[in-house]
Amino acid sequence: MKALFILLLLAASPLFAQTPLDRIEKTDLSFIEGNVIKITEEHIEYKHANNLEGPVYTIAKNQVSAITYSNGFREEIKAVTSAPPTTPPAQANSATQATSYSQNQPNYHPTINTQAAKYENSNPREPLLAGVLSLIIPGAGQVYNKQYGKGIAMFGANVVSWVLAANSAYNTYDYDALYSGYYEEPNTTGTFVWMGLAVATNLYSVIDAAVSANKINERYGLISHLKVEPQTQFVLHGNQLQPTWGAKLTYSLR
């Protein structure tokens, strides 16, 4: 009887024996037990411990931190991100290029025209226009550049200079002496000084407006180009060709 019991126990022992399992440790600190079948560059194939004879499961390598095998060896897992597949030029078309990648994909790198983006997001100024505005009205070019305080100061300084020049010219002559027949050479130094200061503030306003506009553009990578090209043309007068000279002014902002 005892021998029969031992034979039955030996026959049933494979049913109770526990198969050694591998442990797949995930990045979220959970784990999966089973048998690792295959490890590729992008995923890991395994069979789950609940059904070792069942289907093969797959898990991405970037979700796994390490694998502890049944023999106790522990392997750290490092996921390798592969480059997106490229379409041969002969097979590429506008439809496939438009739908190949989306912004949700990790390797999506849209191409941006940085120059166009700079111009679109900037508020460029025309230095030539700024200078002309300040030539007409001192300080107007600064206001065009949104430098309102400087523009008001330029306009005020110019107006005050012209007012003082006019007042100096008025006070130059002794009108009582003129009425009595006495003439004295007037001193016009003060008048010319104030007139010169008025002209100087006007010119400074023109130069400052153009330079400031160019500096504003440089902040966005935009450069102003002003070029003067001499030109010569021949015009027919009667039976003779006579040369005429001129100049071509070109301006660009890029």
Q: What is the pLDDT of residues 123-150, one digit of tens each?
A: 778 888 889 999 999 999 999 998 999 9
Tokens for 36? Answer: 């690792």
Say how far apart CA 198 and CA 235 lie, in whole Å. Answer: 43
- pLDDT for res 100: 46
Say how far apart CA 157 and CA 154 lie, in whole Å. Answer: 5
Say how far apart CA 141 and CA 128 lie, in whole Å. Answer: 10
- pLDDT for res 98: 46
Say how far apart CA 141 and CA 212 lie, in whole Å. Answer: 9
Nearest by Cα to 202 from 149, 142, 246? 142
What strands, in cross-sheet order, belong to the sheet with 22-26?
57-60, 43-48, 31-39, 22-26, 64-68, 74-76
What pLDDT digit, counting tens, does each position of 172-202 carry?
766 665 566 655 666 778 888 999 999 999 9
Confidence band for 236, pLDDT divided at 50, 70 and 90: confident
What pLDDT digit, counting tens, does each position of 33-90 carry?
888 988 888 889 999 888 888 889 999 988 999 999 888 888 888 765 555 555 555 4
The pTM is what?
A: 0.41
In the chain, how many H helices and how many E strands?
8, 8
- pLDDT for res 226: 59
Packed helices 189-218 and 148-170: angle between N→C axes, nearest 10 degrees: 170
Say how far apart CA 115 and CA 254 lie, in whole Å. Answer: 8
Concatenated DSSP letters for 9-41? HHHHHHHHPPPP-EEEEETTS-EEEEEEEEE-S
- pLDDT for res 61: 87
Concatenated DSSP letters for 127-181? HHHHHHHHHHSTTHHHHHTT-HHHHHHHHHHHHHHHHHHHHHHHTTS-HHHHHTT
Confidence band for 171, pLDDT divided at 50, 70 and 90: confident
- pLDDT for res 84: 53
Which comes out higher in pLDDT, residue 19 or 154? Answer: 154
- pLDDT for res 102: 46
In this model, does residue 94 exceed pLDDT 80? no
What pLDDT digit, counting tens, does each position of 203-215 carry?
999 999 988 888 8
Tokens for 38? Answer: 């295959």
- pLDDT for res 149: 93
Average pLDDT of span 84-112 = 49
Helix (H) or strand (E) holding 109, with range, is: none
